[in-house]
Amino acid sequence: MSSGESSANPRANLLKIVGIGAGAWGSVFAALLQDAYGQFCDKIQIRIWRRPGRSVDRSTAEHLFEVINSREDVLRRLIGRCAYLKYVEGRLGDRVLYADEILRDGFCLNMIETPLCPMKVVTNLQEAVWDADIVVNGLPSTETREVFEEISRYWKERLSVPIIISLAKGIEAALDPLPRIVTPTQMIQCATGVPIENILYLGGPNIASEIYNKEYANARICGAEKWRKPLAKFLRQPHFIVWDNSDLVTHEVMGGLKNVYAIGAVSQMKILMNTSNAFFFNKLVSCTDEYYRWMAFIVVIMFAASLRTYILAFGDTSIPVYFVHSQPLKFYPPMKMENFRFNWGGYLYNRFLKDKMSS
């Protein structure tokens, strides 16, 4: 395209990024991009798609109103956007608020207590994806195949091939022609026909609200080298370190089992004992085949039995500190925490060690 054509059509060189799905992680991921690159609106367009029509119940509207009034920066922003009155009416029950409506103001329905930045929300899937350069899959693994089969209909006449980054965690099982695990990136490839080298997975043992609150976290983006290395640099932020790796399938499978492992850790440490069984059951249900539910159960039991040799904490507390094949440590050297780089490091630091080390 000539420079004259580019100047005549400013959207020709616009990098169009769209997030599909507005759960906690999908919304935070889009908000991180908006915070980092929203100022370059003439070069990058960032939008998020969610289904329309989901109403906010009265109790959630009341809680949302309390959150808004507890945060002066959020309150001033809504007043400046002339959007505060609708939350007053929602609090009083005089108006029904909708999930896509509050998402535009930076409130994810799954994460009310962590206000995000305002975002451009699209409720029409075809409008969202038909010309997107980068599509971020923030859907649950159980919905990924269905939604991307619909997306594939809108891409039939498309000339360029998009890049797809999947955040989904979960696995399915297929029996034909041979028994095998099916990961979300494989579901997307099967549904859309996009080459696997254009489909990547990003994940890590992180909590969405903590990432947006700029607590240290790290993740890996996995896939073909052509895209994973530049995308790792594009996504990396001072508090959110993104590494790259070529092993796509292994990271996806372990990402699907990560939450199950976490429940085993919770049980081992005797935290949230009354609710761990319910959480454990819900996570197992995300494995959509009975065989893999039993496999996940066995893995959790094995993991919990050996957890003491892998988890990090303080010997002075109720959570003992163990390095592999070492004695408990009474004092944890700060420099070792700073150099602790594998995936569980950021999670354990934020959840258990941060307050102790700062005191």
Per DSSP, the residues of 273-306 read HHHHHHHHHHHHHTS-SHHHHHHHHHHHHHHHHT
Q: Do 199 and 219 reside in the same domain of the chain?
A: yes
Q: Indicate the average pLDDT of the chain.
A: 79
Q: Do 145 and 13 reside in the same domain of the chain?
A: yes
Residue 109 in any domain: the answer is: no
Q: Do 167 and 295 reside in the same domain of the chain?
A: no
The SS3 call for residue 165 is: strand
Res 297 pLDDT > 60: no
Residue 273: pLDDT band (50, 70, 90) is: very low
Percent of the chain at pLDDT > 70 equals 68
The encoded tokens of residue 47 equal 């939008």
Beta-carbon contacts of residue 158 (< 8 Å; ≥ 6 apart): 130, 131
Beta-bridge partner residues of 221: 202, 244
Residue 205 in any domain: the answer is: yes
Q: Do 213 and 296 reside in the same domain of the chain?
A: no
Residue 98 in any domain: the answer is: no
In tens, the pLDDT along 23-64 reads: 999 999 999 999 999 999 999 999 999 999 999 999 999 999
Residue 298: predicted pLDDT: 55
Domain boundary (245, 267, 295) is at 245
Percent of the chain at pLDDT > 90 equals 57
Which structural domain range is residue 311 located in? 257-358
Choice between 340 and 137, residue whose per-residue pLDDT is larger: 137
Residue 17: predicted pLDDT: 97
C-alpha 116/C-alpha 209 separation (Å) is: 9
Q: Do 157 and 230 reside in the same domain of the chain?
A: yes
356 as an active site residue: the answer is no
In tens, the pLDDT along 64-100 reads: 999 999 999 999 999 999 999 999 999 999 999 999 9
Q: Distance between alpha carbon 314 and the CA centroid of its chain, in Å?
A: 29
Domain boundary (179, 211, 245) is at 245
Check if the beta carbon of residue 29 is closer than 8 Å to that of residue 19. yes
In tens, the pLDDT along 101-154 reads: 999 999 999 999 999 999 999 999 999 999 999 999 999 999 999 999 999 999
In tens, the pLDDT along 307-328 reads: 433 443 333 333 333 333 333 3
Residue 116 in any domain: the answer is: no
Q: Do 24 and 169 reside in the same domain of the chain?
A: yes
Task: Tell me the torsion sign for CA atoms 11, 14, 20, 26.
Answer: negative
* Main-chain phi, psi angles of 44, to 5 degrees: -135, 130
Closest among 352, 316, 353 to 331, alpha carbons compared: 316
Residue 62 in any domain: the answer is: no
C-alpha dist (Å) from residue 6 to 14, 17, 39, 159: 10, 19, 21, 18
Residue 277 in any domain: the answer is: yes
Res 157 pLDDT > 90: no
Count CB-CB contacts under 10 A for residue 31.
26
Residue 7: predicted pLDDT: 52
Residue 175 in any domain: the answer is: yes
Residue 111 in any domain: the answer is: no
Options 16, 86, 169, 258, the catalytic residue: 258
Q: Do 224 and 264 reside in the same domain of the chain?
A: no
